[in-house]
Amino acid sequence: MGFESTFKALSDPTRRHILELLRRGPLSAGELASSFGTTGATISHHLSVLKEAELVTDEKRGKYIYYELNTSVVEDIMAWVAGLIQEEAHEKNQ
- What would the pLDDT profile of 22-76 be if each residue is shown by its tens digit? 999 999 999 999 999 888 899 999 999 999 999 999 999 999 999 999 989 888 8
What CA–CA distance (Å, rounded) separates 84 from 91?
Answer: 11
Which amino acid, 5? S
pLDDT of residue 2: 74
Instruction: Name residues whose C-beta falls within 8 Å of residue 12's C-beta, 6 or more positions apart in sequence.
Output: 46, 49
User: In 3-state terms, what secondary structure has residue 57?
Assistant: strand
Alpha carbons within 13 A on the beta-carbon side of 29: 21
CATH value of 3-92 in 3.30.930.10, 3.40.50.10420, 1.10.10.10, 3.30.1330.30: 1.10.10.10
- DSSP letter, residue 63: T
The pTM (predicted TM-score) of the whole model is 0.82
